[in-house]
Amino acid sequence: MITQEILRKVRQIEIRTNRLVDSAIGGQYHSAFRGLGMEFEEVREYQPGDEIRTIDWNVTARAGTPYVKRYREERELTVMTLVDVSPSERYGSGTQEKAELAAEFSAVISFSAIRNGDKVGTVLFTDQVEKYIPPKKGKKHVLRLIREILEFRPESRGTNIEVALRFLAKVLKRRATVFLISDFIAQDFEKALAAVRGKHDVIAVRTSDPRETSLPKVGLITLEDAETGEIVVVDSQSQRVRELFQSRGLDERAKQDELLRSLKIDELEVTTGKPYIKDLSNFFRMRGKKMFR
């Protein structure tokens, strides 16, 4: 049963993300992601400014004047969001959980996709595939994706990115653009990620919270691992405790960064309570430039 609170959040995300797509990234999305190929459209007479390499020399020789080949991009893409819905994503030290941030980010990507005529689908996962929604077009479909992410309560408490990637490899037969949205608190998914990267365009989107690498200085704090249930009590007044906590968080992040760089996977980080649209806009712009190198 869909609660009024979920419907309210879906509506808020719809309004906010539509505004972002309209004002900031709508056009950049199109240039950031390549279509499936180029399809021949016509031959027409050469015009100043046309690329010399597009000249059709056979037609030119017969006609006695230069003619060029024109192509159109086979634009329709399949966009998939792989969204981590494990308990660690339900964490948020402020007013926003990482799960809500993941839903909003998915909405931005999904609305951008359908406005460009692309299909979008999602896989929700923990240490198993919890839900698969096949790619479709349309606003109604996107709103369903947002609602599912927000209201979903997983059956399992762990995280296994490998399982989600291997499932995706089975259900996607054509090349797709894949947004892997997770805090990447997981192990042993390198081979599966490399395999999916070999066939699809993969973008890693790391969800984070400021408190994951910084303890407040407030005395004794009870910390619970959302996925194992393990509880520890630490003294945040201790500078050494705070430094050790920060060091472990940064070391784990550095390992993730190194893995993604080694596989040549583009990465974007989004943090609860922090605006991300400028970073996303710059990310799209960077990818757009790479496409034309």
Residues 90 and 66 in one domain: no
Residues 96 and 178 in one domain: yes
pLDDT in tens, 65-118: 999 887 665 557 899 999 999 988 988 888 899 988 998 899 889 988 888 889
Closest CA to 130 of 105, 159, 98, 99: 159
pLDDT in tens, 105-141: 998 899 888 888 899 999 999 999 999 999 999 989 9
Residue 24: predicted pLDDT: 60
Q: Are 41 and 70 in contact (CB under 8 A)?
A: yes
- Does residue 29 lie in a domain region? no
For residue 13, name the pLDDT band (cuts at 50, 70, 90): confident
Number of domains the chain is built from: 2
Give the Cβ contact number of residue 266 at 10 Å. 16
Q: What letter represents residue 270's amino acid?
A: V
Residues 236 and 137 in one domain: yes
- Does residue 243 lie in a domain region? yes
For residue 15, name the pLDDT band (cuts at 50, 70, 90): confident
Q: Please give the mean pLDDT across all residues of the chain.
A: 86
Residues 167 and 41 in one domain: no
The encoded tokens of residue 109 equal 């990507």
Query: Is the pLDDT at 38 greater than 60, yes or no?
Result: no
Distance of alpha carbon 159 from alpha carbon 162, whole angstroms: 9
Distance of alpha carbon 44 from alpha carbon 41, whole angstroms: 10
Where helices occur in 33-132 by DSSP H, the ranges are 57-63, 98-115
Distance of alpha carbon 95 from alpha carbon 9, whole angstroms: 13
- Does residue 117 lie in a domain region? yes
Query: Is the pLDDT at 33 greater than 80, yes or no?
Result: no
**Residue 293 DSSP SS3:** coil
Residues 50 and 154 in one domain: no
Residues 64 and 85 in one domain: no
Pairing of strands 78-84, 119-125: parallel
Residues 101 and 55 in one domain: no
- Please return the burial class of 239, using the count of CB atoms within 10 Å of its CB with bins 0-12, 13-18 and 19+: exposed
Give the mean pLDDT of 240-262.
Answer: 91
- Does residue 274 lie in a domain region? yes
Percent of the chain with pLDDT over 90: 39
Give the Cβ contact number of residue 224 at 10 Å. 12
In order of 17, 104, 108, 147, 236, the CA distances from 24 in angstroms are 10, 15, 11, 24, 41
Residue 149: predicted pLDDT: 84
Give the mean pLDDT of 229-238.
Answer: 86
Residue 293: predicted pLDDT: 54
Residues 58 and 104 in one domain: no
Unique residue bearing structure tokens 């407030």 = 218
Residue 55 sits in which domain range? Answer: 37-74
- Does residue 68 lie in a domain region? yes
CATH number of the domain within which 150 lies:
3.40.50.410
Residues 156 and 45 in one domain: no
Residues 51 and 160 in one domain: no
Q: What is the pTM of this model?
A: 0.80
Residues 46 and 141 in one domain: no
- Does residue 30 lie in a domain region? no
Distance of alpha carbon 85 from alpha carbon 98, whole angstroms: 9
Residues 69 and 85 in one domain: no
Closest CA to 201 of 124, 263, 121: 263
pLDDT in tens, 165-203: 999 999 998 889 999 999 998 889 999 999 999 999 999
- Does residue 176 lie in a domain region? yes
- Does residue 290 lie in a domain region? no
For residue 5, name the pLDDT band (cuts at 50, 70, 90): confident
Q: Are 271 and 104 in contact (CB under 8 A)?
A: no
